Amino acid sequence: MSTKKPHTRLSVNINKIATLRNARGENRPSVEQVAADCQRFGAEGITVHPRPDERHIRRADVFNLRPLVGVEFNIEGYPSPEFMDLVLKVRPEQVTLVPDAADALTSSAGWDVEANMEFLTSIVERLKGAGIRSSIFVGTDTANIKAAAATGTDRVELYTKPYADLYPKDPAAAVAPYVEASRAAHNLGLGINAGHDLDLNNLAYFRRALPWLHEVSIGHALICDALYLGLEETVRRYKECLTETEN
């Protein structure tokens, strides 16, 4: 296998834009306009996570965004019958499977793949049959990543909150499990995505350390930064974190 690092794509999660919009019940800010602007400013993906209660992204948003997203469209969610019906109709480039309960505030853990092997394998097969890339949200346990590969998934997404929490105290220790996990995934033929609490302070270090990293999905931190820096400058800075070390 090649040891050259892939270009790491930035996918902007626009859920928080929908949260702000929903607070007033109108269409301001517009998730469609923000998605278009993110693409114009250089984002290489748009991510949404429609939850059953539609507290941020709604099913209607997903359908409205599909013709407007000219970059990679990534839909995250728990693969319930309703979620699968949505993604098979919309057919995004990628679906990221997360184990969240319906009322979860945010994604807080990866799958125990072995315990859900039959279920996840059947979901991955359905996505593959529809020509949709699949990614399974996991922690850094390499045995769990090996189980993920056995489902037939295309990629794994590494849950990076533990990295973000430890980074201020000990960056090397924080990133070490992710380096090992990314190598294991690469050796199994999997692509590697990452997300959760990555920001302008810790992203560049994470990108430099990982041997292979195809994509990061960032929402909350990026939207918070955009309040101060503006959306265009924020996207530029996040992309700079991902490209300054490429070889």
pLDDT tens for 101-123 read 655 445 557 899 999 999 999 99
**From 76, 157, 186, 215, active-site residue:** 76
Instruction: Please state the rounded mean pLDDT for residues 151-160.
Output: 98
Is residue 98 classed as helix, strand or coil in its secondary structure?
coil
Q: What is the reported pLDDT for 110?
A: 87
- What is the distance between the alpha carbons of residues 239 and 72, in angstroms, rounded to a whole number? 15
Q: How many helices (H) and strands (E) does the chain have?
A: 11, 8
Indicate if 186 belongs to the active site: no
Indicate if 215 belongs to the active site: no
Please name which of 176, 243, 198 lies closest in space to residue 8, comparing C-alpha atoms: 243
Residue 227 CB-density burial (10 A; 0-12 exposed, 13-18 middle, 19+ buried): exposed
**From 56, 186, 196, 214, active-site residue:** 196
Is residue 101 classed as helix, strand or coil in its secondary structure?
coil
Whether the pLDDT of residue 193 is over 80: the answer is yes
Strands (E), the chain: 9-13, 45-48, 72-77, 94-97, 133-138, 155-159, 191-195, 215-218
